[in-house]
Chain A
Amino acid sequence: MNTEKYRNAMSKITADEELISSIHTAAVTQPKKARSKGRLCRTFPLIATAVIMLAGFTVYAANSGLLSIIFKDSETDFSPFENLTGDITVNELEVYLDGLTVTPVGTASDSYTVYTVFRLDFPEPLPESDEYSEFAGDGYGHFTPKLRDTLAKFSEQDLPTGGGAMGEYVKGDEDTLYYVYTVSSGGKISGEVELDVICQNLLGDSKGLLKDSYIYSDRLFYADFTVNVPEVECIGFKTDGTEFETVDAKVFPCSIVMTSYDETFVNAYKEKHFEHYALAKAYVTLKDGSTVDIRGTSIAYGASKDHIRFVTSGMVYSEPYNANYFNYRGYLSFPVDTSDIVSLTVGNTTIYPEK
């Protein structure tokens, strides 16, 4: 490569006085946040790759670009998943395609979300595709047996706030896919958890990610596996305004849980307000300025265990009645170090960690 010409050209990209002046003015005129008493001295590697140790598993919180899943409009970055080191114990594995090798990569989890990643090595290069490549489950009806049983078992400990699962293909090398399988539990989970997954080929009525290839099966693999869900710390959030002030909001490394038993709040926000919040863009902001989207958002509310209504993204199953229970759930696009979280935003509401 002729690096000299490139270097010469790059050296001409400089900031002019006008830009420097405008940034300086913007900085010095903005409200400055309160500084902590001791200045925190850190070196950049800790900022760049916040490696966190949480009860036996290590994840990268950095937001980087090794892997990419192709959505219709944008590329989503899933590289933090490649560094999961939680163990997946595979109890049963059935592979439906000759030459396909399925390898468990790792898992990360907290009390409400389990990410598991499988690596799929195909015998030939995969076809190029820009198709949407995910499927999602919601409710219990069409779940795989172990997943259904596990979610039901843990839901008994809590109000039956449901649960869901999502599988996503993440393109690796030309003959490799990563399969990120995310289970979101309504009830609090812990210890050894048995789950299973059917990894679909996306053939048939779906978008045909792999249809024009030698791959003919409608399923790629089935796995029955066990993961160990550790007890991990969460951080509490409170609004300093009026909205959500009676809501108990908790952010885990993988999950968001907001609960309220305040009848006044619940009834004030039911129906359209809940729909609004279930559909609203939600994300956490990290210290380095990046944001991590919250996905799979849903709201359950009701008057008793037998009268729960769900409001999930895109679907509203709700009827007006006097309710006294509100539960907002979502999972982070990838695990983060909760100590790096500066704020949580749902729609137009931003709340901050409790002091």
Chain B
Amino acid sequence: MGKKNDEEKGRSVEQYLDLPRILEERGVSRRDFMKFCTAMSAALALPVTFIPKIAQALDEVKRPTLVWLEFQDCAGNTESLLRAANPTVAEIVLDVLSVDYHETIMAAAGHQAEGALAQVVKEQKGKYIAVVEGSIPMKDGGIYCCVAGRSAVDTAREVCGSALATVAVGTCAAYGGIPAAAPNPTGAVGVKDAVPSATVINLPGCPLNADNLTATIVHFLVFGKLPATDSLGRPLFAYGKRIHDNCERRPHFDAGQYVEQWGDAAHRKGHCLYKMGCKGPETWHNCPVQRWNEKTSWPVGAGHGCAGCSEPRFWDTMTPLYRRLPHVPGFGIESTADKIGAGLAVATAVAFGAHGVISAFRHKDDSADAKED
């Protein structure tokens, strides 16, 4: 992503890229390119007739400018993006984007870097794509995250507010993520909450799956608009189904074969992790299909339950990670809903049993009373 040729200087949004030439230079065959287009149409759940359209659109692509802002983050999404094992077509497609600002990977620093950002915002107002990684602190005037002397919320308002669209990558940028976990000392929120006027698409996950970012950008390049989203601003092609419903271990769930303990026979056989607290049934993500690290594996495939990382407030609501249900508020950490519930039922039985004993003893007095009446 970071490499820039000299000839690319002075580019504009309208500049056409010769993608076939770039692919040839990088040693990517036309066949590999078509395979990539097929994979993208599959990721976006488009019919096969779209494959040539994707290829054509990418051949004729105009280069949109992209700026990548990092706020309260761990740079995990940047890592996820940069850690491709081999140079892939996806990497080159992302390369097509003119990344004018990315704190982690850009060569420029200090005033030069900030100058590049200011230039994009000024000269390409309403035309560039902003990518935001990390949450934005709102408490105390947003002083808990400042870059180049400006608060994150101030920068986000200007950069995301002037962007054609903002892609919030990772759960922190989408919903506040781990910095927003209780008690949320910095008042961290996601981009849409910090800049309500911005056009935001959320790609949550901890980290996001780079394939979903590629597919979102391909969708944007092919159709000129962002993909359809759910009520949480996530694209339906990637977050439209629960993990549970696409899980390779689902047959074991339906059969009734569960891991009871780490390393037991069922765990070694790859049975369902439901009883180990897997949050697949409450998490919307395409992990089982897209997978990670060049489609090698994914958490549940590797034998660990889903943590629900792509859901809002996952750190507060999906914990404890190795139990099915959250703790009941106000009770001890060892109390489960079912223990409390059984206690409630027993207490009720005891209370009414006691009431019954007293009532039984009052029986005779009662009938005497009734005669007086």
A and B: interacting chains: no
**Chain B residues within CB distance 8 Å of chain A:** none
**Chain A residues within CB distance 8 Å of chain B:** none
